[in-house]
């Protein structure tokens, strides 16, 4: 028996399970936000911001599926592209300054 079957047997819909998953990812994002602010090195901060961006994409995708709103998925795709470009730009910037990422 899968988790979806157990949730449906418990009276929850699949949308409720997806919303609970999105809430779990929000809690994990708060931990990464702490690491992005406090991180001891620049590499820790860059990685934490990258994880925050990926986490945001997952949250948007879960919300889009749970609320049956395809617009959220379009926004998630654009945000994933921006997150990727940001990671490339920061990596190029730190390597040009002499740091190793």
SS3 content of the chain, % helix, strand, coil (to 5): 85, 0, 15
Sign of the alpha-carbon torsion through 78, 84, 89, 94: positive
pLDDT of residue 59: 96
Mean pLDDT across 46-64: 93
**16-20, 36-40, 48-52, 92-96 — which is least confidently predicted?**
92-96
- 69-100 residue pLDDT tens: 999 999 999 999 999 998 888 878 777 666 55
The dihedral formed by the CA atoms of 49, 54, 59 and 62, expressed in degrees to the nearest 10: 180
């Amino acid at each position: 028996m899968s988790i979806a079957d157990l949730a449906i047997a418990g009276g929850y819909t699949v949308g409720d399970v997806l919303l609970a998953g999105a809430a779990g990812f929000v809690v994990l994002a708060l931990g990464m936000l702490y690491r992005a602010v406090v991180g001891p090195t620049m590499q820790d901060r860059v990685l934490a911001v990258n994880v925050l961006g990926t986490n945001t994409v997952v949250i948007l995708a879960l919300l889009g599926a749970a609320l049956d709103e395809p617009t959220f998925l379009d926004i998630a795709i654009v945000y994933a592209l921006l997150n990727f470009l940001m990671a490339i730009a920061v990596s190029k910037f730190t390597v040009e300054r002499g740091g190793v990422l």
